[in-house]
Chain A
Amino acid sequence: MDISTQNTDEAPPPTSQPSAALQKRASRGATRPGDRIFLGLSRGSGIFLLVIMAAIAVFLTYRASLAISKDHGNFLTTFEWNTNTIPPVFGIAVLAFGTVVSSIIAMALAVPVAVAIALFITHYAPRRLSGPVAYVIDLLAAVPSIVYGLWGALVLVPHMNGLFGWLDKYFGWTGIFSWQGGAPRSMLTVSILLAIMILPIITNVSREVFRQVPQMHEEAALALGATRWEVIRMSVLPFGRSGVISASMLGLGRALGETMAVATVLSPTFDINASLLDPGGGTFAQNIASKFGEATADGRDALIASGLVLFVITLLVNGAARVIIARRAEYSGANA
């Protein structure tokens, strides 16, 4: 390591340093060779991260531009993905639709439940239960997505038949819930699976936020005779709102980019179907994973182009989440 070799270039004796100037000079880190090297190393690795991000953007854009220039359809609006034909014709409309719809439904299902579980852990559960529950949910956040996929395809899908039949019977007239009776490997099943997958993440972050609600606020509300629900509505939820939003965004980012779970569960077709229950549609990540095997060189570039769009979407979502979090900057021990 460079650091150990620098041990020999020991800094000048401390007594020669006026203590008032020490903090200032040290923080610039340019005074001693050891500091300079260490600063260089740590700044270098920070810059390296930025370079990676830039490289991802550049390389994906480069390959994507190769593909798009050969595309004989409209990249944004074509409802086809025929990259091996000559000329190739492909477009991301179906993928964009499927990705956004499945993620939004997953959010709609997961966020209320996740907030409820977070409240359950922080405010409702008996103390003996809340600790273990929080721990288990923490662990569940680490279950690999391929396991969710395996479970979704072999356990969840057969269980969806009943629900789909019921939805079709009573809400089939809406068109959204009409069902032709195919195997329930559809967008709705995908959304439900995604909701189950992102539930632990959203729960964990929301729970942390709810824990930070000042005790005083809650006690004040209780002292005014508020019921527990009123305490939550008046003091806990307003305080935690931005935290919940950013947690949801993190979950949304996860749902947008989920690959294997969608690839194992969905029966993909390349068109937009009004019904969520009939098989069809696709998402960016699923399309890449399932089309990759048969793709020719042009096909791979086309898939990379769709990956670039996914990259941009997740960047926007995550960026938005961070901006919301940044509004309530936290106190930091260092650099205070």
Chain B
Amino acid sequence: MSHSAPAMGKRPSTLRGATLPKWSPWAIAAGAVVLAVVIGLVGGLDSKVQWGLIAGILFVLGTYGIAARVEGRRQAKDRVATSLVWVCFLIAVVPLASLIWTTVKRGVKVFDIYFLTHSMGVVADSEPGGGIYHAIIGTLEQVGLATLIAAPIGVLTAVYLVEYGRGKLSTAITFFVDVMTGIPSIVAGLFILSLMLILDLEPFGFAGSLALAILMMPVVVRSTEEMLKLVPNELREASLALGVPKWRTILKVVLPTSIGGITTGVMLAVARITGETAPVLLLVWGTNFINTNPFSGAQASLPLYIYQQYANSAGSNAAYDRAWAAALALIAFVMILNMVARGIARWKAPKTGR
């Protein structure tokens, strides 16, 4: 390191250099915030975001200045790195916290039993009233069907890759599954749409399920693959050595051992596709009425409902309230799925022998 030599030279003769007291980062942070507020007030900056940015910059600069004077440049750099990491963390937390906070705060306004058990029906977009029942039904059915398609195919593909896969075919599958993970949801929607245009079909819920299944499969394959790889080879060898056929080994030993992880993977994939709007927008059309049949007629879905409430509202507060409340319901659903999935993962984690 080029800068260590001069730093060495300046070091005082004692073995330990001077160090800042433990409370110094807090003091510097407090000083930076106060200074930023003063600058903000004097400079007439009306955006709190700017105040925060100024405070962050002052904090990093202040830390460097003070630490460089007291502890030397190497230590100062270390402290700057520490303070930068903290500042980055705080900068990132602000929007994310604001997102959750706004959704909860504005979502609870109309979020009640009536909202959950009624569809929009004939309520106009700009009027109060109505609910998300039809959207919940649509989302559950579309996502459920997508899962029924994607989960078995995904798990079987992963089994093939881990247990059988060798040679060009599995390399190709691995590569394209990875690439498929990155397919934009709108492209999957366009693909099903181009099929529908050829077959002259009207929009219906199951078309959305197909697009969602395309998005879901690679995610299931990836996570299942990881889980199957964690199953110790000893288990397989023991089973095979007893003369159990390979397919039974897989069904009775490998899959049960990793079932927790696979379930988690599938649930996380479900959580991901539940929030997809674009394919549903293209393929499922959206409706204000309850339609429980995913194979015929337009359906609604939660993300689409949020978008339509936002887009058709003409700035009406009733529609914004509904959009936020639906967002709250959607986030709650996704979060619960996530937490349950992670819970299962922790609870059923295979003993890897490490």
Contact = CB atoms under 8 A, between A and B. Distances in A.
Interface of A: 3, 11, 13-15, 17, 19, 22-23, 26-27, 29, 32, 34-35, 37-39, 41-50, 52-53, 55-56, 59-60, 62-63, 112-114, 116-117, 119-120, 124-125, 133, 135-136, 138-140, 142-151, 153-156, 159, 161-163, 166, 196, 199-200, 227-230, 232, 250, 253-254, 256-260, 264, 285, 288-289, 292, 297, 300, 303-304, 307, 310-311, 314-315, 317-319, 321-322, 332-336
B173 A46 contact: yes
Given A26-B246, A46-B160, A304-B194, A120 B89 contact: yes
Contacts, number: 314
Residue among B50, B85, B177, B193 with max Cβ neighbours from chain A (10 Å) = B85
Nearest to A144: B275
A162 B46 contact: yes
- For the residues of A in contact with B, the DSSP-based class is helix
A329 B92 CA distance: 32
B275 A116 contact: no
B282 interface: yes
B248 A34 contact: yes
A14 B242 contact: yes
Nearest to B198: A59
Interface string B181-194: 11111111011011
B232 interface: yes
Given A142-B271, A227-B78, A289-B281, A49 B183 contact: no
Interface residues on B, range: 35 or more
A292 B281 CA distance: 9
A77 B214 CA distance: 32
Contact of B246 (A35, A48, A62, A228): A35
B190 A49 contact: no
B89 A117 contact: yes
Contact of A292 (B275, B282, B303): B282
A322 to B, nearest CB: 4
Interface stretch (B28-36, B109-117, B124-132, B233-241): B233-241
Nearest to B175: A322
A97 B335 CA distance: 35
Contact of A227 (B46, B75, B197, B323): B75
A64 B104 CA distance: 43
Given A3-B251, A228-B82, A229-B78, A59 B195 contact: yes
Given A14-B242, A19-B241, A250-B182, A120 B85 contact: yes
B141 interface: no
B106 to A, nearest CB: 8
Interface in B152-192: 152-154, 156-157, 159-166, 169-170, 172-173, 175-188, 190-191
B166 A335 contact: yes
A322 B178 CA distance: 7
A139 B183 contact: no
B217 interface: yes
B92 A49 contact: no
Contacts of A19: 241
B206 interface: no
B96 interface: yes
B294 interface: no
A322 B179 contact: yes
